[in-house]
A and B are shown apart, each in its own frame.
Chain A
Amino acid sequence: AQSVSQHNHHVILSEAASLELGCNYSYGGTVNLFWYVQYPGQHLQLLLKYFSGDPLVKGIKGFEAEFIKSKFSFNLRKPSVQWSDTAEYFCAVSLLKAAGNKLTFGGGTRVLVKP
């Protein structure tokens, strides 16, 4: 069964600092990769997704992620964070050919951006 791991449970940083959140998955087949964000009191929102093509994916709010197939990784980055980026970030994977395309989530990383 596939699994997803996120390396950091909590990250604290100051505004304008750069952010990188690690995500690794265990499945060796063809996967779809996602990053979701959950702002306090809100629902999970899609930040970006990778299905095929350019492994560097750009999402909303200045976020990007790079798929490195050889490392089974899909790390999320933002060059300069803002206070409003305080949220919990979830990496998720689905199998390309699975009937229901269920998502398998990582444990999430809580990011606190200090003003």
Chain B
Amino acid sequence: EPEVTQTPSHQVTQMGQEVILRCVPISNHLYFYWYRQILGQKVEFLVSFYNNEISEKSEIFDDQFSVERPDGSNFTLKIRSTKLEDSAMYFCASRKGQGGNQPQHFGDGTRLSIL
């Protein structure tokens, strides 16, 4: 069964540095998402992306965050100047098509640790 893949599995970065988290969604999927889960807290929506543009973003997704689909396969999340509170597990998800009856498929996540 096709899977969403994320790299790296664990990223350790100094505060203030830029980090790029990478995701390869399932190949025929059209909708892409990033979520994060801070340790001990809920999984939180960050951003959704469709047709090469952001379709929705949360309050968390401020100017330090950006997403990009640089080619036909990758979907990246960039955090420009990391803060300690950005430490979390980041999940990428993709969905096949239009309509609510298409579930999202998740990757294994990237654990981001900010020092």
Give residues in A with beta carbon < 8 Å to B.
Answer: 32, 34, 36, 42-46, 49, 51, 90, 92, 94-96, 98-108
Contact = CB atoms under 8 A, between A and B. Distances in A.
Interface residues of B, number: 28
Interface of B: 3-4, 31, 33, 35, 41-45, 48, 50, 55-56, 58, 91, 93, 95, 100-109
Given A92-B43, A103-B45, 14 more contacts: A36-B106, A43-B4, A44-B91, A45-B106, A46-B104, A49-B103, A94-B100, A96-B100, A99-B48, A100-B31, A102-B45, A103-B35, A105-B42, A105-B43
B45 A104 contact: yes
10 contacts: A36-B106, A42-B108, A43-B107, A51-B100, A100-B48, A101-B102, A102-B33, A102-B45, A103-B43, A108-B42
Contacts of B55: 99-100
